[in-house]
Structure 1
Amino acid sequence: MFRQITETVFASPQIGTDAIAEAKALGIVRIINNRPEGESEDQVAGDVIAAEAATAGIDYVAIPVGHGGFSQAQVDAMADALDTAEGPVLAYCRSGTRSTLLWALARAKAGDSPAVIASKAAAAGYDVSPIRQLIDMLSAGK
């Protein structure tokens, strides 16, 4: 269920409380929820995931991203959540795509190569082409 993007970053579709044990077994130290609350009736609420993560000793951060796109504040929050984690991170949303795209933007902001970002995302089964121009601009600005 978890797709590995880098050695320390995983993306996933919506998780349930049962996924917390799997995350713990992988050494995940932070779970990042990129899904807005109430996006669908079948999603597990963020506070339920947060409580289960806390019980397992895993940090939880919510950076909700709607279908309207990404803001600079969201990119900054994702970069901070990734940079301050003291171990592997799992980011999730409905399909894992928004989490991967937000990771890509955060890494571009840090100056990573757009080609490397795209390659890592593709190897995990995600396509960053819808935001490739933004990745290029963020990376060039570093």
Structure 2
Amino acid sequence: MENRINIQKVEPAAYQAMFGLEKYLSTSTVDPILLELIKMRASQINGCAFCLNMHSADARKMGETEQRLYLLNAWKETTLFTKTEEAVLALTEEITLISNHVSDETYNKAASFFDEKTLAQIIMAIVTINAWNRIAISTKLIVS
């Protein structure tokens, strides 16, 4: 498989805008492990090997367990995730699969755990990883 266009090289300003979102997220009040779970779950749904590889390594460096990483795609069938994490994972799934819309139940459950600012940061994290997934998949970024 060959890479396609290198957007970072061809349109560096576009990549800088995306990196701006990452910089914003790095200063958010969202727990860094939760951010990695968001990134991994959206990347699983989207089938983005590049992002899964990157964020599983990042999560491990932060102390995330192998067991939770292996079972992330079946989080509803385990007791390994907190109620807060479950609410965010449900929100991640519904935003990633946006054509089904985000239900009031899912939104309200996530909102019950966070103040408005943190909830906004979580939504931005979900939106951002979905954008990165689409860039990586459409340009065929290769895991090496």
TM-score normalised to structure 2 length = 0.29
Which has a greater percent of helix? 2
Work out which structure has the larger RCO, using CA pairs closer than 8 Å and 6 or more positions apart in sequence.
Answer: 2
Please identify the structure whose Cα radius of gyration is greater: 2
TM-score normalised to structure 1 length = 0.29
